[in-house]
Chains A and B, each alone.
Chain A
Amino acid sequence: MTPAAPHLRVLVVEDETLIRWSIAETLAHEGHTVLEATNARSAVETLSDTSEPVDVVLLDYRLPDSNDLQLLANVRRLTPGSAVVMMTAYGTPEVTKGALDLGAYRVVNKPFDMHALESLVLEAHGSRSPRAN
């Protein structure tokens, strides 16, 4: 018997409304809780509230107030227990390598398939919490 998929708290940091909406709809449909941030500042604010930890962060590389790996480094420091999936519309090999070195679970290129999103989020979460196995 397959264990029931966990219900996760997922933070989507993305300024493109349609992407944010699609992700939120897709994950909420599967029973996950989705928090949304449209820029780096609000992402950090959300993660600083430690009362309810975030399991997975879907993080856009390029945001109105962030265009480097500094935000990823901050996220990793704020919530080391959260898995991070980086999203980028134009990722150079250097950016990809830098993100993975900072502990991102994966770097996905936009556009990506919404139908593959939930399994990606579960995989990422699984990589951070051994107990899930």
Chain B
Amino acid sequence: MQSLDPQHRATQVLAALIDSAVDGIIVIDARGRIETFNPAAERLFGYRQEDVAGRNVTMLMPSPYRDEHDRYLWRYLQAGNAKIIGIGREVTGLRRDGTVFPIHLSVGEMTVGGERKFTGIVHDLSARVQLENRLRSSEERWRSIIESAVDGIVVIDAQGRIEALNPAAERLFGHTESEVLGRNVTVLMPFPYREEHDQYLARYLSTGEARIIGIGREVTGVHRDGTTFPVHLAVGEMTVGGERKFTGILHDLSARVRMEEQLREQAALVRLGEMAAVIAHEIKNPLAGIRGAVQVIGDRLQSGSREVAVIGEIVNRIDTLNGLIQDLLLFARPPQPKPALVDVAPLVATTVDLLRADPALKEIRVEMEGASPPVLADPELLKIVFQNLLVNSAQAMAAAGGPGRIRVSIAAIHDSCDVAFSDDGPGIPAEIREKIFTPFFTTKARGTGLGLPTAKRLVEANRGTIRIDCPSGGGTTVTVQLPLAVAQAAGAGWSSS
């Protein structure tokens, strides 16, 4: 039977409450000495009640808080300046073993038997802080993954508005994140996809019919400068704070598509080469028979007769046909380059002299300037390249009504030699400039359309590049870039130093 008076009973309840509390409870007197240290506080700090009773509470604090506490307490008692009393905040505790840990400390004040005392309730924050740290480092990790990702990442909301654009996506599209935040993602798409996207998104949200979400496929992106590029887009869906969002991961396919095109082109050229070899034989052999027989017959005709003239014309036509086959062979089956040290300027000069032997090109004026160290290339093939470019320029200018002037500038830039052929002809319209290296494309009434493609193939066979520019001032400049011999030697590890 319990027969305790209510006062005693309340004391017992309070004592039990303090003993069973999950948070540490520490009571100190006005001088900071510990009077009460409950079991939870014992567990937290690693001391037992009897170890700490009567000692200054600063023993539970690491420096520098320890050194400041007496002053705080004194100031509070003197002036009532509360830094923590009645407020509570996060502080650091010091365990018996010297380790520190984060705690939330709330301090209340009471007066017992005329003495002011302070009750500190200590809530261990270790777990929470650990969790926070984990979250923070996890967020940092995710952020750094997204920031450093090679693929572009674009997050949009359910209305299609851009919420995030990682650096790779910034590079891909040429926009900074701040420029496109909040704008419709269609700004990254070219016509006609741009027009369809809002509909797709709306349909997906209402019917769940996915065209790309959760699937991924090849699409076309548009760069800020207006150029388009192939890109693989994989779209995932997520719900953040109750809102549906979509994450697009964009993998640039430009290089792959370019490589596929090159492979296709190379395969086509190989096939063309095989075909050309067969055709060449099957056409040239009978042509030889026809040409020979016609010549023999012509020799038997009365010299100066109309028939003899016709025979001459037949032979000319046969030679033109044969030249066409030769051109086709040169393009389709260029000979293996035999690299040698080549001085470009004298080679251009020789080529110009050879061309002047052609009555149609006798009138062209060629000015040369600049010089370069030798390149490593096949001189015979280079001669064909230069010849094709000069003939092309001369013909373009002749078609425009005058013999004109060709300027050949030679310059060594870094580890390559630039040979630029500039004419003052009519230039090349932008719409056909891309096709200019396509075999059999020609703007001339007569011509095979193999001159420039052959030049390109031969230049590339010599590890060079060729490009066409039409300066705004008029005319056309074709620039052949060839690796300098020294650069190639160094690249191949022959450098003597």
Contact = CB atoms under 8 A, between A and B. Distances in A.
Interface of A: 16-19, 21-23, 25-26, 29, 62, 89-90, 92-93, 109-115
Contact of B285 (A21, A29, A93, A110): A110
B286 A25 contact: no
B296 A22 contact: yes
Contacts of B318: 111
Nearest to B315: A113
Interface residues of B, number: 22
Contacts of B319: 111
Query: What is the interface of chain B mostly: helix, strand, loop, or mixed?
Result: helix
B335 interface: yes
B288 A19 contact: yes
B329 A90 contact: yes
Nearest to B286: A16
Query: What is the interface of chain A mostly: helix, strand, loop, or mixed?
Result: helix
A18 B286 contact: yes
Contacts of A21: 292-293, 296
Contacts of B287: 110-111
B228 interface: no
Contacts of A26: 292, 295-296
A115 B281 CA distance: 22
Contact of B280 (A19, A90, A93): A90
Nearest to B289: A18
Given A18-B290, A22-B293, A23-B292, A89 B285 contact: yes
Nearest to B292: A22
A111 B281 contact: no
A90 B277 contact: yes
A90 B284 contact: yes
Contacts of A17: 289
B67 to A, nearest CB: 94
Contacts of A19: 285, 288-289, 292
A110 B284 contact: yes
B295 A113 contact: yes
A89 B295 contact: no
B322 interface: yes
20 contacts: A16-B288, A16-B289, A18-B286, A18-B289, A18-B292, A18-B293, A19-B285, A19-B292, A22-B296, A62-B285, A89-B288, A90-B281, A93-B336, A109-B284, A110-B284, A111-B319, A112-B288, A112-B292, A113-B295, A115-B295
Interface in B230-289: 277, 280-281, 284-289
A23 B292 CA distance: 7
A109 B319 CA distance: 12
A18 B281 CA distance: 15
A114 B292 contact: yes
B291 A111 contact: yes
A92 B273 CA distance: 13
Given A19-B292, A62-B281, A111-B287, 4 more contacts: A18-B289, A89-B284, A90-B281, A111-B284
Contacts of A112: 288, 292
Nearest to A16: B289
A110 B291 CA distance: 10
A112 B322 CA distance: 10
Contacts of A114: 291-292, 295-296, 299
Interface in B306-359: 318-319, 322, 329, 335-336
Given A18-B293, A19-B292, A22-B292, A111 B322 contact: yes
Contacts of B335: 92-93
Contacts of A111: 284, 287-288, 290-292, 318-319, 322
Contacts of B336: 93
A20 to B, nearest CB: 8
Nearest to B335: A93
B375 to A, nearest CB: 22
Contacts of B292: 18-19, 21-23, 26, 111-112, 114
A89 B277 CA distance: 10
A126 to B, nearest CB: 23
A64 to B, nearest CB: 12
B285 A22 contact: no
A113 B286 CA distance: 14
A52 B296 CA distance: 28
Given A19-B288, A111-B318, A89 B293 contact: no
A80 to B, nearest CB: 28
A18 B295 CA distance: 11
A22 B319 CA distance: 17
Nearest to A111: B288
Contacts of B291: 111, 114
